[in-house]
Amino acid sequence: MRLRLLSGALLGALALILPPASASAAVGRDFYGVIPINTLQPSDIDGMGQAKVGTLRIIFHWPVIEPSQGSYDWSQTDVVVGQAARNGIEVLPFVYGTPGWVGVDCHGLSESDCERVPPLDSEGAREAWKSFLKAAAQRYGPGGAFWQENPSVPNVPITQWQIWNEPSSPTYWAPEPSSKGYAKLVELSDAAISEVDQGAKIILAGLFGTPQGDAGSRNVMWKYIGRLYKVKGFKKHFNALAIHPYSPNIQGIEFQLDKALQKIKKNNDNNVGIWISEIGWGSDPPTADKPLIKGPEGQAKLLQKSFGFLRKHRQKWNIEGLIWYSWQDPTGTPQTGCAFCGSSGLFEEDGTKKPAYDAYVGITGGS
């Protein structure tokens, strides 16, 4: 069974105010993170360093990194991992996507959408996934090839790996979500990464609260977690679960965390950590039909309130990290089906900082 960090004593009464700046010392820098939407340049990561970003959550996109079997292109990840290390930032990769050469059943999906189909159809697909994970850990884990090839880069190895993204949603898991299928993917991932780094931590994919827009559907976050725990032996293959508790308000975030904690306690897994691997709001002008869009000042206010609230009560839910979505507004067309994503950044598309950036660095102590 994997080692897990013990949770501390529960903190006191709930509060929605931001703790004083000195309270930031109560958590490590790696507690606060961001996720980018756009392709990162070294200058972007330097800016994150100035902002005292502690964790950079990025995609390790399997179809891009291994476009043909056994042929790896680490060029982009090398740049990001190296520049993050130079800025004292830890990288949290979420490993996602199935390349076409794996040969899974696409269930009638287009070639690009077929990457949502997990590599579970055959022994060959499963072994290909494990080989990719081992190659990634061998390159970026402790003592990995990247650090040996670049001795001038500060040694900040990847020690935590997030497996897939939002598998409870058909947007990321095709042809339809399967908790048993995802549990199998986690088991395979644990076996592969542990073979390279026995101390590595496995983080479950972030789960959106209501991925199909209905709190009564079978794939709401807490029901999906409950089904995962029913898979025999599943608990021993991961160290932390992750949620994406998007909500118009703080009360909705608290509700989702409590629902997740109920499942954790019911399954006697009280030492497991929780990552908030995505949280955010948009800065576009708010409208009644888009509850995650709050305007520039509203976005900043909710960043400040949510970060203060989650930090203050992190021990209640054993929160290990908090990732803001996103660093900068996307260039080009925003993500389909995500109304707030196009204005979710701390910066405008042209690089102009928003009030939310000032709120973020006011918490992290950045400049």
Using pLDDT thresholds of 50, 70 and 90, give the confidence band for residue 349: very high
Strands (E), 216-303: 240-244, 273-279
When mean pLDDT is compared across 4-18, 134-148, 304-318, 339-353, the lowest value belongs to 4-18
Per-residue pLDDT tens over the stretch 70-119: 999 999 999 999 999 999 999 999 999 999 999 999 999 999 999 999 99
Section 121-132 average pLDDT = 98
Which uninterrupted H or E stretch holds 225? helix 221-229
Q: What integer best gives the mean pLDDT of the chain?
A: 92
Task: Please state, in angstroms and rounded to a whole number, the distance separating the CA atoms of residues 33 and 123.
Answer: 36
Q: What angle do CA 341, 346, 352 make, to 5 degrees?
A: 110
User: Residue 335: pLDDT band by 50, 70, 90 thresholds?
Assistant: low
Given this model, what pLDDT does residue 47 score? Answer: 98
In angstroms, how far is CA 301 from the centroid of its own chain? 22
Comparison of pLDDT for 367 and 325, the residue scoring more: 325
Is residue 159 a contact partner of residue 198, using CB atoms and an 8 Å limit? no
Query: Which token pair is 92?
Result: 């949290």
Give the pLDDT confidence of 1-17 residue by residue, as tens digits.
344 333 333 333 333 33
Q: Tell me the whole-structure pTM to 2 decimals.
A: 0.92
Q: Is 61:96 a contact under the CB 8 Å cutoff?
A: yes
- Going by C-alpha positions, the residue among 184, 183, 165 that lies closest to residue 173 is 165
Strand-pair partners of 93: 58
Find out whether the peptide bond into 99 is cis, omega within 30 degrees of 0: no
Query: Tokens 């077929």 belong to which residue?
Result: 114
